[in-house]
Structures are given as structure tokens and as C-alpha cells.
Amino acid sequence: MPCRRRSVVFACLCLFSAAVPSHAADLYRWQDDQGNVHYTDRVPPEYVKHGYRVISEHGITIQTIKSVDEIEAAAPPPAGPTMNDRRLLMTYGNEAEILAARERKLDDLQALIELNRETVSLLEIQFRQLAKEAGDYEKQGQPIPEPLLNRIAATRKKINKYQARLEQHTAKLEQTAAEFDDDLQRYRELRSVIEKAE
């Protein structure tokens, strides 16, 4: 464990021990560097990191504070290379390839966005024309024909569908850009580790 992490754990233990309410009848069981067991009304600060037990007035252990070494042993081992790390190293030979792949993917998504945007624009023009026709019937005091009403409803449904697609593609564009940025950063970290090991 790095020195800094050990210091943080030790500081947390000190704070925790200070936060535990001390009752007059409670004792603390702790060991010194020679392994001698002591029962006192407080644990000396230099021995808090070794762990201790809080003993009630009836001789029952009511709390056990682990040592720094026990906390370290219980900590999960550092994670090794992930599947994504291996994928990055196998897929790309350098940063330029990641940037090129990013540009291609974003261009494809941008093309879909533009296509859906144009489709929505054309459908809205069509919808306005149909609405005008319906308005003309109303001005003349005539009922709007059923086929015209159906076309208006179908056009509105298409507009909603393509607007939803437009939103999905826009969100996908942002997500893809962020994922490539993360991949590029991680690739740089992995290459740095590999170069130092060589």
C-alpha cells in the first residue's frame, strides 16, 4: 500500500477512535510492539494502527477495530487489464488510428442526423399544406374529408417518429464522442505503461 494510503487509513482510524463514545466502565484492549496485552481507558495514539477491542464493564467485547494490516489484507487486489484494455491494444496501433475511427463514426452519425432533420423539415412542409387544405374546408363551412384527416394524422405520426430518431442519433453522437475520448485517454495510459516496461 502506498505511504499516502496508509496515512489516510491511519488518520481514519484515529478519527474513528476519537468519535467512539468513551464510557467510564469501558476498557480498551490493545497490544504493544512486544506483543504485551494492555487494558486501559484509552489506546495510545501510536498503537491505534495495530487495532484494538473495546471491552464492556462485564468483560464482553463490544467493538473490534481492525489493524491497518487487516484492512489492507481485506482490500481487493488492484485490477488488471480489462477486456476493453485488450480490445484497445489489439484494435489500434497508434493514437492516429483511434482519431480516424472516431471521425468516421461521428461523420456517419452526423449524416444520419442531417437526413432525419431534412425528412422532418419536408414532412412539416407537407403537414402545413394539409392543414391549410383542412382550414379551407372549415372556412367554407364544409366538413373536412376523412381521407384528408387521415393524411394529416399520418403525417403528424411520421414527424414524431423522425423527430424521435433525430434525438436518438444526436444523443448517440454525443455518447460516441465521449466514449472515443475515454478510449483515447486510456490508450495513452496503457501505451505509457508498456513503453516504461520495455
Q: What is the pLDDT of residues 114-160, one digit of tens each?
A: 999 999 999 999 999 999 999 999 999 999 999 999 999 999 999 99
What are the residues whose beta carbons fall under 8 Å from the beta carbon of 109, sequence distance 6 or more?
169, 172, 173, 176
Residue 196: which H helix or E strand, with range?
helix 146-197
pLDDT at 3: 45
Half-sphere exposure (Cβ direction) of 133: Cα atoms closer than 13 Å:
14
Please give the Cα distance from 57 to 24 (Å, whole number): 9
Q: Where are the beta strands (DSSP E) in 48-169?
A: 52-55, 61-65
C-beta separation of 18 from 24 below 8 A: no
Domain ranges in the chain? 3-74, 83-197
pLDDT at 5: 46
Q: Where are the beta strands (DSSP E) in the chain?
A: 27-31, 37-40, 52-55, 61-65
C-beta separation of 53 from 29 below 8 A: yes
Please give the Cα distance from 50 to 9 (Å, whole number): 12
Please give the Cα distance from 112 to 170 (Å, whole number): 9
Cβ atoms < 10 Å from Cβ of 68: 19
176's grid cell: 460516441
Lowest average pLDDT, out of 48-57, 127-136, 169-178, 184-193, goes to 48-57
Q: What is the DSSP letter of 35?
A: -
Q: What is the pLDDT of residues 157-173, one digit of tens each?
A: 999 999 999 999 999 99
Please give the Cα distance from 169 to 148 (Å, whole number): 31
